[in-house]
Amino acid sequence: MPENVFEKKLEEQPTEKPRVLHSSDFIPGIVDQRHLSGDLKVVKFGLSADIPDGSSDIKIWFSTDTGVLSMWDGSAWLTTTLT
């Protein structure tokens, strides 16, 4: 039975330990948002028509066209108008 040359080549490749990426590893401006741990919330903003349906990770939304600040409570958006 002939030897599988491809598998042999893979076995000969050196292995590197994975490392955690840092924001300096990327071209500036390419990373939109960083991971935040704990109970921190990120406020996203845009038009009121673009507010997410609550199934995404976005839990606070500021509608720039209406001045309404909304927070997802788990079942509905609670809102207040900022003046």
Here the tokens at position 62 are: 């500021």
For position 1, what pLDDT does the model report?
A: 47
Q: What whole-number distance in Å separates Cα of residue 73 and Cα of residue 79?
A: 10
Write phi, then psi, for 69 (nearest 5 degrees): -100, 125
For β-strands 43-46 and 68-72, DSSP reports them as: unpaired
Candidates 50, 42, 52, 43; CA nearest to 66 is: 50
pLDDT digits (tens, 9 = 90+) for 1-54: 456 666 666 667 666 677 777 767 777 766 565 555 566 667 889 999 999 988
* Domain regions of the chain by residue span: 5-81
Is residue 78 pLDDT above 80, yes or no?
yes
Q: Which residue has the tokens 């292995």?
A: 15
